[in-house]
Amino acid sequence: MGRKLLLEKAHIENIRQYDVYRNNGGYAAQEKAFKMSTADVIEEVKKSGLRGRGGAGFPTGMKWSFLAKPEGVARYLVCNADESEPGTFKDRYLMEFLPHLFIEGLAISSYALGANICYIYIRGEYAWIVDILEKAITEAKQNGWLGKNILGTGFDCEIYVQRGAGAYICGEETALLESLEGKRGNPRIKPPFPAVKGLWGCPTVVNNVETLAAIVPIIEIGGEEYAKIGIGKSTGTKLISACGNINKPGVYEIDMTQSVEEFIYSDEYCGGIAGGKKLKACIPGGSSVPILPANLLLTTAKGEKRMMTYESLADGGFQTGTMMGSGGFIVLDEDQCVVRHTLTLARFYRHESCGQCSPCREGTGWMEKILNNIEYGKGKMSDIDLLWDIQSKIEGNTICPLGDAAAWPVAAAIRHFRDEFEWHVLNPDEAQIRNFGLAHYADNLAAV
């Protein structure tokens, strides 16, 4: 049984209510942190080795230390709760069921950074969670954990919730800041980085929900103790959103000592492949990370068991590895069509591109059209090489990582499942019938 730090109290009835949370040890970490200096709190976060849980995995303490502190200029903490990555839903779980844990983490982080105002930029579709957060913020403020002169320290902190308008691009931190300022959510060119010039031109730290919630157990048990959990630089615990063709989809907290095989097949976690089918492939970090076939997913190119850590999942680079990403663990069984799934992802990224960069604006549309042709029996062998060429011209040539996120799934699908693309080209009728059924095939044929 893996150690639980974030979801330890999730089973307690009515834990989202202030009194229940407080009676079960809630806000003790904030009491402890506010007796420490801000430098000491940041040092504990550095010692913990906590890496950003939003996808990039950048060391949190180091990111905090970059924050500029000019005299007389406000500093801001912004929480990226715009959880829009397909396959990812663990931040939603935290905010919905453990809102006070999240708010406690925000308050401690704001104190450490000297940020008197904190914004939660939440995905617009999470409308019901806004109400939960607003209530929890009110309760925390009424009980002295937010507001003026918190715990007699002289530190003031206000938290505001801002709903997004349904744009995936606003999950990119600079696009989020643009949206928060009331502008179109287009990513900014960096540098300057938000730590120097962020919200309204002021020094700003942007962290995601899970990252900020993890500050609570770090303060409770200490950075060094937190760093002992996990393997190597993959310290602490990580929330995984598991979905797809598994027996037990849900949100799981792992301490990153599990192998991928154990995570998929053990009853403690995913419970194996649904219907007793075979594992075909998995996208382990949300839709933007490379897909891996079963053999490379369970074992690295070195013949070692692949572990649920940042380093092990990335072992071999994109040739034989992938990324932890946002922890959106999407499992595909033997009956799933990789071409069809790749088309679905390409359609998503084409729709969500902000259009600011031409490689992404044009390339995502071209990839969707070509994949659509291959899937619906109109593809040519040359289309596969054309797809590869297009994705290679998108990757690394855009202001923000959305271009990379659109290119990587296509590249990995061709790299590992080229034979499936070729089969679709050579057997267009059979491919359509297999994927969509005879009735859909007949309708499509009539339309042509």
What's the mean pLDDT in 213-239?
96
Same domain, yes or no, for 236 and 306? yes
- pLDDT for position 1: 56
pLDDT digits (tens, 9 = 90+) for 369-392: 999 999 998 999 999 999 999 999
Residue 7 lies in a domain: no
pLDDT digits (tens, 9 = 90+) for 67-76: 999 888 999 9
Same domain, yes or no, for 354 and 368? yes
What's the mean pLDDT in 326-343?
96
- pLDDT for position 156: 96
Write the secondary structure of 342-411 as one string of H (helix), E (strand) and C (coil): HHHHHHHHHHHCCCCCHHHHHHHHHHHHHHHHHHCCCCCHHHHHHHHHHHHHHCCCCCCCHHHHHHHHHH
Residue 180 lies in a domain: yes
Structure tokens at 51: 């890496």
Same domain, yes or no, for 69 and 33? yes
- pLDDT for position 176: 97
What's the mean pLDDT in 383-405?
96
Nearest one of 36, 37, 17, 34 to 26, comparing CA atoms: 17
Of the chain, the percentage scoring pLDDT greater than 70 comes to: 97
Residue 55 lies in a domain: yes
Give the integer Cα–Cα distance in Å for 415 and 384.
11
Q: What is the CATH number of the domain that holds 413?
A: 1.20.1440.230
Nearest one of 438, 428, 383, 381 to 410, comparing CA atoms: 383
Give the integer Cα–Cα distance in Å for 7 and 22.
15
- pLDDT for position 447: 57
Answer whether residue 145 shows pLDDT above 90. Answer: yes
Same domain, yes or no, for 45 and 181? yes
Same domain, yes or no, for 180 and 50? yes
Answer whether residue 237 shows pLDDT above 80. Answer: yes
pLDDT digits (tens, 9 = 90+) for 39-70: 999 999 999 999 999 878 899 999 999 999 98
| Domain count along the chain | 3
What's the mean pLDDT in 319-329?
93
Residue 127 lies in a domain: yes
What lies within 8 Å, CB to CB, of 51 at 6+ separation is 57, 58, 59, 60, 233, 234, 235, 310
Nearest one of 38, 417, 51, 70 to 239, comparing CA atoms: 51
Q: Is residue 438 very low, low, confident or very high in pLDDT (cuts 50, 70, 90)?
A: low
Q: What is the CATH number of the domain that holds 194?
A: 3.40.50.11540
Same domain, yes or no, for 258 and 203? no
Average of per-residue pLDDT values in the chain: 94
In which domain, by residue range, is 105 found? 18-227
Residue 4 lies in a domain: no
- pLDDT for position 187: 97
Q: What is the CATH number of the domain that holds 269?
A: 3.10.20.600
**Cα dihedral value 29, 34, 37, 41, nearest 10:** 30
Same domain, yes or no, for 352 and 289? no
Structure tokens at 248: 């037990």
Residue 12 lies in a domain: no
Nearest one of 152, 173, 407 to 290, comparing CA atoms: 407
Structure tokens at 166: 């349904």
